[in-house]
Chains A and B, each alone.
Chain A
């Protein structure tokens, strides 16, 4: 069979057959390669632009560059908040052959706590291997040196310098300047996230929070080339960030220091305002805390200590503490009586140590059991007679009291440029019906007349009301921030004084009489604040206050030994000076401090002395 088939083979024909097929295949090959070439031309020529765009999108990415946060100064240029270089220790995992060994080595050189390791482990999982992960923050110079010397045997370990917010005045400015902290989930909801793309901190309290938009600045962008795994290879172009504005405050940090020292760690608050402008010279709440603790995350135990403390150092008493103003409101009410023609300066009442409403035998007591005798409005302010003001309140009625006192800013927020202040409470018939669902009782009018009862005011409100009194009825908006300066071009933006309300002056003499009474209260022996008059080089107008504490103020835990102390009266004092040309108005409270004249007034004396005399001392020294 095979033989026969072989016989039938025709080599010439087969050769021709093959050659025909070979030519066909050659054409096919050429055609196939031509199709491939066409395909390439389609990609490389027709769609070149499209693929170039895609290729650029692949490799080029925009990275945000954080702006430098604006600095904060006091009125004399003292730095209150700054950005300092701190050193942190960072590990780049990709370059570390043995992490365990490296951590052990580092632990032998510098202290690394369990907290540090925990945070490191947490961050490590969210970071790409070629990006550094921080292990320790705030290295001391000694630690930096120790690591640097050993760096040759610690590959992948680096010391990085970053800008960290720092408050050089520490607890002195904690309640004014506030602090920044890590951006939280909550913060993210209220900010423009693209502007904060590179920012790690945001203002949490005080000026840092209220002026966040000015202080932060605008984010910059950097065009970088990255590889497929996101590693940055080089910077292609850069759009610099706009730095935040520097802020100059009205606060005089030296005055703040005097007030802080004078309060001496007692629970209290002091606010000092320049009457003509509404500039806040000092805003102190004690005890305070170190705001620097919060910047990079406060350890939980430290936070607990602060937040659980009886003294509540985190609580800003100056803005949020609401206290019965007590007798400190008597000058304003007295003025109201005169201005509304309910009484004259000649009118007097007989004070026997108590007061009763007609047809009621309940006795409203005066603080002086034996009474003040026959007494007019001026002496009633000097000696802080309660009976006179019970009577005046009765004559005015709650509606007029409310109407007049409201003009001094009681019961409403002052509009301070730092947020978070409480509104206080100035009771009215309408308020009681709405909130308590009860009618107004005449007896309540009486205790309102001596600043007790439902009355509540913040130290800031008291200071601003006092400033209004000193300012002859010009009610200014208190302001902490004086001006902002753009560090890039020096452009300045001033916060000019803002008149909120001018109390109509019916008879200027009435204002003068109240002023006299307040001066007398400080300078004459029968005045309640006479105790601070010794050696006074200027005329100070002042009014003491003592407000009763009913039960425990907040829902604190019951500790027996503390109770007696906590039930003592709050000591208050308001003052302005010099009385003929007021430069400063002060209000302060010492919680459970007892009598206002004994406890609170000396603090105000120190503060006003410093403010009015520091220049003179300088001049004296020069002479």
Chain B
């Protein structure tokens, strides 16, 4: 079975520390992405080329990270996290100075988004911290781990970048779940979440964030304003039907009714043009990548790599669910791209870097003969 045949990879791929099934799944998804993007961009070859270049960079990053031994990552984990945290502080300070939303750090040559780094650094730090603890974690370890997750997440939410913050909290949560988080604590946390959620709603959330949640609950209340995105997206998906309107024939996207059609709402374009059948195929491809990631995690040989691999895989999952849930009206509109399909750079590089780490974990196992 393809999910579990990593050890039989071809010689060259094996030497390059590439996991063939994972690469295959990712390539298929990226291919889908280019096909839909061509339609969503109004057949703009310029955008296709820019996306191809980004994919090239991202796959290169994946390849580079696949060469890095997991032990090296484990040694650097707290440093990477520390640097990321320092940069987040810098961004916040600049944001205060610049009076407005601030996500970028201008490093002169490139503009860097520290929150992207944290998407990997947070699960890595939690894995590093729990690696030498007895599992399931004790309450004190759990508290430290929660601090590692929530401090950067809150700083990112403050930027404000709710999507990334949700993603980091979600990833961290899954790492804890993999580590064996006790169910009774989970239930108590769930009960506790209600007053905390209320407090967040009242004190921490920005007006526009609250509006988004409210619009999510009733998109028709504001059909030309905030609800417009969701309504048009649902129309695009629903009118696609079983077989779709056909490639390049989506009226919702081509006649520009659908906003953000080549970035956050590219899934709606896909559903409109390829219908339910196309969608099942796409979801199957995503599921394949997810299960392969979980398989790699389960085959990992120590706590650190196991938790890291599981966490990274689940960050991919969260992206997926939040995005599709959003465009189909199940979840509020938080600006989260659809992995490998949405047009855009930095998050894709981070995503594939994460898969590079997965490959590294899988291909650097010491295969001991018993």
Q: How far is the CB of B205 from chain A (nearest CB, A)?
A: 25
B-binding residues in A (CB < 8 A): 2, 5-6, 8-11, 14-15, 17-19, 21-22, 25-26, 29-30, 32-33, 36-37, 39-41, 43-45, 47-48, 50-52, 54-55, 58-59, 225-229, 233
B256 within 8 A of A: yes
Interface string of B197-236 (1 = CB under 8 A from A): 0000000000000000000000000000000000010111
Q: A51 contacts B235, CB within 8 Å?
A: yes
Chain A: CB-nearest residue to B241 = A48
For B303, the chain A residues whose CB sits under 8 A away are: 14, 18
Knowing A22-B297, A52-B241, the reply to whether A44 touches B279 (Cβ < 8 A) is yes
Interface string of B17-60 (1 = CB under 8 A from A): 00000000000000000000000000000000000000000000
Secondary structure type dominating chain A contacts: helix
| A55 to B258 CA separation, bound complex (whole angstroms) | 11
Q: A39 contacts B328, CB within 8 Å?
A: yes
For B85, the chain A residues whose CB sits under 8 A away are: none
For B68, the chain A residues whose CB sits under 8 A away are: none
Chain B: CB-nearest residue to A60 = B251
Q: Which residue of B252, B302, B314 is within 8 Å of A55 (Cβ)?
A: B252
Q: B257 contacts A43, CB within 8 Å?
A: no
Chain B residues touching A, range:
35 or more
| A17 to B135 CA separation, bound complex (whole angstroms) | 8
B129 within 8 A of A: no
Knowing A36-B328, A59-B251, the reply to whether A45 touches B177 (Cβ < 8 A) is no
B275 within 8 A of A: yes
Q: Which residue of A18, A37, A40 is within 8 Å of B180 (Cβ)?
A: A18
| A227 to B256 CA separation, bound complex (whole angstroms) | 6
Q: B291 contacts A29, CB within 8 Å?
A: yes
Q: How far is the CB of B358 from chain A (nearest CB, A)?
A: 13
B237 within 8 A of A: yes
For A29, the chain B residues whose CB sits under 8 A away are: 287, 290-291, 294, 317
| A9 to B136 CA separation, bound complex (whole angstroms) | 10
For A26, the chain B residues whose CB sits under 8 A away are: 290-291, 294
Q: B178 contacts A21, CB within 8 Å?
A: yes
Q: Which residue of B178, B257, B276, B287 is within 8 Å of A59 (Cβ)?
A: B257
Q: A228 contacts B255, CB within 8 Å?
A: yes
| A24 to B330 CA separation, bound complex (whole angstroms) | 23
Interface string of B251-282 (1 = CB under 8 A from A): 11011110000000000000100011001100
Q: A40 contacts B237, CB within 8 Å?
A: yes
Chain B: CB-nearest residue to A50 = B238
Q: How far is the CB of B228 from chain A (nearest CB, A)?
A: 10
Q: How far is the CB of B135 from chain A (nearest CB, A)?
A: 5
Q: Among A18, A39, A226, A227, find the residue whose CB has the most chain B CB atoms closer than 10 A.
A: A18
Q: How far is the CB of A235 from chain B (nearest CB, A)?
A: 15
B196 within 8 A of A: no
| A618 to B290 CA separation, bound complex (whole angstroms) | 102
Knowing A29-B317, A33-B283, the reply to whether A58 touches B297 (Cβ < 8 A) is no
Q: B133 contacts A5, CB within 8 Å?
A: yes
Besides A5-B132, A48-B242, 12 new A-B residue pairs in contact (Cβ under 8 A), listed by A number:
A9-B135, A15-B306, A21-B178, A26-B290, A29-B294, A33-B287, A36-B321, A39-B328, A48-B239, A55-B235, A55-B239, A55-B252
Q: B328 contacts A43, CB within 8 Å?
A: yes
Q: Among B235, B324, B330, find the residue whose CB has the most chain A CB atoms closer than 10 A.
A: B235
10 A-B residue pairs with Cβ-Cβ distance under 8 Å, sorted by A, are A5-B133, A18-B307, A22-B298, A26-B291, A36-B283, A39-B328, A39-B330, A44-B275, A55-B235, A58-B252
Q: A51 contacts B237, CB within 8 Å?
A: yes
Q: How far is the CB of A349 from chain B (nearest CB, A)?
A: 89
| A443 to B132 CA separation, bound complex (whole angstroms) | 132
| A567 to B131 CA separation, bound complex (whole angstroms) | 119
| A26 to B174 CA separation, bound complex (whole angstroms) | 12
B128 within 8 A of A: no
Knowing A6-B132, A22-B178, A36-B325, the reply to whether A48 touches B238 (Cβ < 8 A) is yes
B337 within 8 A of A: no
Q: How far is the CB of B329 from chain A (nearest CB, A)?
A: 8
Knowing A39-B330, A228-B256, A229-B256, the reply to whether A25 touches B177 (Cβ < 8 A) is yes
Chain A: CB-nearest residue to B251 = A59
Chain A: CB-nearest residue to B232 = A58
Q: How far is the CB of A222 from chain B (nearest CB, A)?
A: 17
For B179, the chain A residues whose CB sits under 8 A away are: 18
B355 within 8 A of A: no
Q: A30 contacts B235, CB within 8 Å?
A: no
Q: How far is the CB of A180 from chain B (nearest CB, A)?
A: 37
Q: Which residue of A18, A41, A44 is within 8 Å of B178 (Cβ)?
A: A18
Q: Among A29, A50, A228, find the residue whose CB has the most chain B CB atoms closer than 10 A.
A: A29
Knowing A5-B133, A21-B178, A25-B177, the reply to whether A32 touches B328 (Cβ < 8 A) is no
Q: B241 contacts A44, CB within 8 Å?
A: yes
| A365 to B143 CA separation, bound complex (whole angstroms) | 126
For B251, the chain A residues whose CB sits under 8 A away are: 55, 58-59, 225
For B239, the chain A residues whose CB sits under 8 A away are: 48, 51-52, 54-55
B286 within 8 A of A: yes
For B283, the chain A residues whose CB sits under 8 A away are: 33, 36-37
Interface string of B159-184 (1 = CB under 8 A from A): 00000000000000010011110000
| A37 to B302 CA separation, bound complex (whole angstroms) | 35
For A15, the chain B residues whose CB sits under 8 A away are: 306
Q: B257 contacts A228, CB within 8 Å?
A: yes
Q: How far is the CB of A35 from chain B (nearest CB, A)?
A: 8
Q: B177 contacts A40, CB within 8 Å?
A: no
B123 within 8 A of A: no
Q: A43 contacts B280, CB within 8 Å?
A: no
Q: How far is the CB of A243 from chain B (nearest CB, A)?
A: 33
Q: How far is the CB of A262 from chain B (nearest CB, A)?
A: 66
Chain A: CB-nearest residue to B231 = A54
Q: Which residue of A21, A45, A227 is within 8 Å of B255 (Cβ)?
A: A227
Chain A: CB-nearest residue to B141 = A5
| A228 to B255 CA separation, bound complex (whole angstroms) | 6
Q: How far is the CB of A2 from chain B (nearest CB, A)?
A: 7
Q: How far is the CB of A47 from chain B (nearest CB, A)?
A: 5
Q: Which residue of A9, A37, A59, A225 is within 8 Å of B279 (Cβ)?
A: A37
